Chains A and B, each alone.
Chain A
Amino acid sequence: AQSVTQLDSQVPVFEEAPVELRCNYSSSVSVYLFWYVQYPNQGLQLLLKYLSGSTLVKGINGFEAEFNKSQTSFHLRKPSVHISDTAEYFCAVYGADTNAGKSTFGDGTTLTVKP
């Protein structure tokens, strides 16, 4: 079984400030890790993913995330946010074991960037 916990349901931040959205996971098998963004009335857009290799992953729109296996975390960061980053962000895990075959999403974090 696998689970994902996004530690903050809402994160308000001022424009140009740094932001960190926290994600912890648990799994009995190796996992792939993902961050998605969802704008209102739209589907999910992939921000970045960790499959293997370097634990620091860079994605689109200036976001990056660090995979920490010992702490089972995959926190999302951006050094300077813009108003347009206001959206809901989802962390997801996918069992690397081909028999797992299922994805699990966190409950989402609503990022609100204020002027």
Chain B
Amino acid sequence: KAGVTQTPRYLIKTRGQQVTLSCSPISGHRSVSWYQQTPGQGLQFLFEYFSETQRNKGNFPGRFSGRQFSNSRSEMNVSTLELGDSALYLCASSLEAGGFETQYFGPGTRLLVL
């Protein structure tokens, strides 16, 4: 069974631009969570989607948004990029909503904002 895939793996943007990251969960998994990992703040929960609905949200500004499609694939969007948005963005999938105990992580998308 294929694991969680994230595209692209690496991305370079400039301040003020927007970016969209994609995550394809493990087949059969219906929940997708997003995390931001930075050296200064560590791993922080962004949001969780289940059945195309946002189920939980972390403490991030409205510039960070996401959505989930009917096939459970998820996208994360960051608008008006800031230098501090440079990070590794990790996606994780699980079978059910809030299924943290069955969560599998993708390899991440490394975003660099110049």
Contacts and interface: CB of A to CB of B under 8 A. Distances in A.
A44 B42 contact: no
Contacts of A104: 45
How many of chain A's residues touch chain B, expressed as a range?
Answer: 20 to 34
B101 A51 contact: yes
B108 A43 contact: yes
Determine the main DSSP class of B at the interface with A.
strand
A6 B108 CA distance: 23
A44 B101 contact: no
A72 interface: no
Interface residues of B, number: 22
Determine the main DSSP class of A at the interface with B.
strand
Interface in A87-107: 90, 92, 94, 98, 101-107
Interface string B20-44: 0000000000000101000000111
Interface of A: 32, 34, 36, 41-46, 49, 51, 90, 92, 94, 98, 101-108
